[in-house]
Amino acid sequence: MSDYLLAALISSRICHDLTGPVGAVANGVELLSEESDPSMQEQSLELLSFSAGETSRRLQFYRLCFGAAGGPEAVTSLGEAQRAAEGFFEGRKQTLSWPTGSAGNQRIPQSAVQLMLNLVLLAGETLPRGGQIDVDLAADGSAIRIQATGRNAGLREDDLDALAGRTKLESLDARTVQPWFCASIARETGAGISFEQTSNEQVLLQAGPLFSVSD
């Protein structure tokens, strides 16, 4: 039952986050079919293009964040993970900065990618009014440091409980399942996670070790 519940909660989370852009695509199609004015048709096409792109970017991010298509031994390039995260935050209130430099081609375990992207996603959740997310990944994979800065930055108490492993699976919902899942990945891979509220406008998420350069 626990595996079923976890899958159901994550599915609910993904569906909830996709409702907006998918609904906008449907609205764009409806407007396009009803409009004969060329200028309105152009606006409808712009809406369709933006919403379809947003849907695609979110799906690409969630595929790496929650999926396991390649199995437990799968690897992913660091650059692909970084591009997926950048695409996810494109056009949103939160701005992401994640420089990878020459390490972009490095291939790392899928579990490490999942942990990093879930931490980035969680950092976005700490900025409900928008802000800046800065990611600093150690070149040797020993640690990742994510700083989120913005007005009223922070996590809800139930999210913190889920991240700390104080919440039972049966008590989770479609929102708190994400920090719980993030903590579960860390436990499975032997990584530690820390969350620090450095001020009312800044939080710090850290985790490691993630991978070794020989992986």
37 is a domain residue: yes
Check: pTM over 0.85? Answer yes or no: yes
- For the chain, the domain total comes to 1
Percent of the chain with pLDDT over 70: 97
Euclidean distance between CA atoms 180 and 176, whole angstroms: 6
163 is a domain residue: yes
Q: The domain containing residue 203 runs over which residues?
A: 2-208
CATH of the domain at 142: 3.30.565.10
215 is a domain residue: no
Kindly indicate the confidence band of residue 204, based on its pLDDT and cuts at 50, 70 and 90. Answer: very high
214 is a domain residue: no
pLDDT tens digit sequence for 41-60: 888 788 888 899 999 999 99
Euclidean distance between CA atoms 209 and 190, whole angstroms: 8
